[in-house]
Amino acid sequence: MRKQLLIAALAATCVLCYTACKKDSKTTVPATNSTLNNAGDFVKKYGPKTQTFILNTGSLPQAITLTGGTKITIPAGITLNGQIVTGNITVSVIEVLKRSDVILGGTNTNTGSGDLLTSKGFVYIDIKSNGISVDDPLPSPMTIVMPGTNGDNTFLWQGDTNVNGTQQMGWNILQGRTVKATQQGFEFDFGNLGWINCDVFYAIDSPKTTMHVSLPDNPGELANYLGGSGNTFVFLCVQGSLVAAQLYTPDGNGVKSYDNTIPVGVNAQLLAFCIKDGHYYLAEKEITTVNNDTEVLNFTETTDDAIQQAIDALNYY
């Protein structure tokens, strides 16, 4: 009798263990890196890295070449509080040439009013003397040559990192500043520091509409410029053109574009990712834009590698 009771007890234990294992198999993916708690952590780790150059003012003007091929000539006569700087200066540059750079860097190709831009590349430039940013604009302009992929002329744009008080990024066109393509790339003079961009409007002869994207199971909060706060980025990437438009205007349980800025009849991919407390979530959807476009994105928990691969694949989309 005791033997039978023992066998029954063991059988019951096995059933409980099996049930527990089945239940555990449905739990969420464990945190793969608890140090990445939000979108900002992800941008810092995977976004384009700052390239730093130490130059002596006695050697200016001097050209520097970035890893992606952008060339910047730093002029002589740089000032700080109106006084000529002497000794060493530190030039820090972020170079953005691919769609993956745009997305992983927490930036975008939106105008300040939400229209879509086709990027020819952009950079962020900061110059410091003894750890203090120099006078902006510079007394003399920099000469910048960005590697071009075609012979089209572009416009010159300046970055705004707080569009309409939203703490989101956008680009403002500099009127009268057309950039001509040369054999070396897109060459222009510019005296301001910060974000500088060679882009053109995404041109397609079709009506424009407003896009609404529902995020019913978004695990986090919407992220802003560089992931300064929040967890979730949402991008619209147009097929065959380097457009990485960020959708960031809150709209119910999701986001919306600016009104009447999305061309109808465009093949595109929506991509959203969320970084929260060491967990990673991804949502993707291929679409053709329609009038009064309403889309739904559903997140799946995944890994940081899967998010990177999805973003890198957009370089060839």
Closest by CA position to 220, among listed 181, 275, 258:
275
For residue 306, give the DSSP letter: H
- Percent helix, strand, coil in the chain, to 5, is 20, 40, 40
- Confidence bin at 2 (pLDDT 50/70/90): very low
Q: Produce one character per residue of 61-70: b if its CB has 16 or more CB atoms within 10 Å, e if not.
A: ebeeebebeb
Total-model pTM:
0.88
- Confidence bin at 183 (pLDDT 50/70/90): confident
Closest by CA position to 72, among listed 80, 86, 62:
62
Is the pLDDT at 19 greater than 70, yes or no?
A: no
Lowest mean pLDDT across 119-128, 150-159, 308-317? 150-159
Closest by CA position to 202, among listed 268, 299, 104:
268
For residue 232, give the DSSP letter: E
CA distance 52 to 72: 13
Write down all domains in the chain, each with its CATH number in brackets: 46-201 (2.60.220), 204-316 (2.60.40)
Give the whole-number percent of the chain exceeding pLDDT 90: 81
Is the pLDDT at 14 greater than 70, yes or no?
A: no
Mean of the per-residue pLDDT values for the chain?
90
CA distance 304 to 279: 8
How confident is the model over 273-283, as a mean pLDDT?
97
Is the pLDDT at 96 greater than 70, yes or no?
A: yes
* Phi, psi at 309, each rounded to 5°: -65, -40
- Confidence bin at 181 (pLDDT 50/70/90): confident
- pLDDT digit string (tens) for 136-161? 999 999 999 999 756 678 899 999 99
